[in-house]
Amino acid sequence: MSKVLVIGGGAAGMFAAIFAARNGNEVCLLEKNEKLGKKIFITGKGRCNITNACDIDTLFGSVISNSKFLYSSFYGYTNEDVMEFFEEMGLKIKTERGERVFPESDHSSDVIGTLIKELQRLGVEICLRTEVKRIIKDDRGFRGVILADGKQKFGDACIVATGGYSYQTTGSTGDGYRFAKEMGHEVSEILPALVPLNVKENYVKELQGLSLRNVETVIYDGKKEVYRDFGEMLFTHYGVSGPLILSASSYITKKLKKKEMRLVIDLKPALSETQLDARVLRDFEDNKNKQFKNAIGKLFPSKLIPVMLLLSGIDPEKKVNEISKEERLGFVHLIKHFELTITGTRDFNEAIVTQGGVKTKEINPSTMESKIVPGLYFAGEVLDLDALTGGFNLQIAWSTGYAAGSSIW
């Protein structure tokens, strides 16, 4: 039996504590906040997207950074294992569009409550408002921790599950990166991921609050296509957000630090340019004696019309029957290629996850133990691991938390 200290009471930390305790260890969970699971509470808009019920290939395909590192932990504790865990604990779950798994109650607090109940049943010592300032090691490995009040706690093993740098109001202030560096670990560049994007064009302010469904977005680095997907997006006062954009951000956040990129939106992806031209021609025919500005109401949401008029280069007062073929084809091209300039991402306080973290090459992928300091383990977002939205980031937390906790005896 070992004395195990777990730093961080989020998803990875609570899971690690549960499975370390199930192995018969004496476990102490150290959390600097006044309660456990603060970030879980706000995930999935307060509903908690527990995991994704997809097949294992899709699971790996949804990881953006270092998916190969997760081979052992994803197979060691799958999404099916996660669902089974919560159901066995009495939490009813449901699967929604995109295979996203939620508690049936739609309350993230029920997920946190389930985990706390199991921690208590196992006799885990939960220390709230307890901030770790430093980790202590000697020649043999991990020894203990120094708390903010100067007290020391000693143990045989320590699991660092302090989260990333996003949503700092939940306590994710990058402590784990500092601990890792002090222990001799390398930490890769920390960047906001699954984050809204800033746009150069001023007219996006006029589109604020407009949500577009069933559009296709393509992002270009110069002429090279770096991302393409179909779905829903949202305009904001500073740029763009919504599921499509958040996912795209994780692929381009590193490059955006160096240069601007182009976002091209196809507003009518179901139609080819030829089919769309035929549709526009019909609308023009039906409204041939009207002014251009009054003839395109069926094509777009009302908020988008002034911007489309501006970008079309066609005089809004012009009669439809006076519009030339070149002008019409240019307008059709605009609908299929609504272009914006991405200048950067929003900050960490708007990012769902953090990209970057403790380098995985220095961590044992089966046990999450440090290859540098024996007895020191890392789990969850503190590691250089991140994935798309849809429950995949929590799956990383559960799987790595399980790997760390269950490997300590």
Whether residue 227 contacts residue 252, with contact meaning beta carbons closer than 8 Å, is answered with: yes
**Which residue range is the domain that position 397 belongs to?**
3-188+355-406
Q: Domain of 309: which CATH number?
A: 1.10.8.100
250 and 141 housed in the same domain: no
Read off the pLDDT band of 169 (50, 70, 90).
Answer: confident
Shared-domain flag, residues 213 and 97? no
pLDDT above 70 as % of the chain: 100
Q: Using one digit for the tens of pLDDT, what is the confidence trace for 137-168?
A: 999 999 999 999 999 999 999 999 999 999 88
Residue 347 pLDDT class (50, 70, 90 cuts): very high
310 and 389 fall within a common domain: no
**Is the pLDDT score of 170 beyond 90?**
no
Q: What is the CATH number of the domain that holds 97?
A: 3.50.50.60
Q: In this predicted model, what pLDDT tens digit does every residue of 285-304 receive, in sequence order?
A: 999 999 999 999 999 999 99
On whether both 278 and 361 belong to a single domain, the answer is: no
Q: Are residues 150 and 7 in the same domain?
A: yes
Question: Do 169 and 67 lie in a common domain?
Answer: yes
**Is 50 in the same domain as 104?**
yes
- The C-alpha R_g of the chain, in whole angstroms, comes to 25
Tokens of 45: 């808009």
Question: Which residue, 336, 333, 345, 348, is CA-closest to 261?
Answer: 345
Look over the chain and give the mean of its residue pLDDT values, rounded to a whole number.
Answer: 97
pLDDT in tens, 300-330: 999 999 999 999 999 999 999 999 999 999 9
Q: Is the pLDDT of residue 171 over 90?
A: no
Q: Are residues 181 and 81 in the same domain?
A: yes
Work out the average pLDDT over 334-359: 97
Do 323 and 298 fall into the same domain? yes
Whether residue 205 is contained in a domain is answered as yes
Any domain includes 350 = no
User: pLDDT tens digits for 43-95?
Assistant: 999 999 999 999 999 999 999 999 999 999 999 999 999 999 999 999 999 99
Return the closest-CA partner of residue 33 out of 172, 171, 179.
Answer: 171
Q: Are 128 and 31 in contact (CB under 8 A)?
A: yes
For 245-285, what is each residue's pLDDT tens digit? 999 999 999 999 999 999 999 999 999 999 999 999 999 99
- In this structure, the answer to whether residues 256 and 312 fall within a common structural domain is yes
Q: How many domains does the chain have?
A: 2
Residues facing 377 on adjacent strands: 159, 369
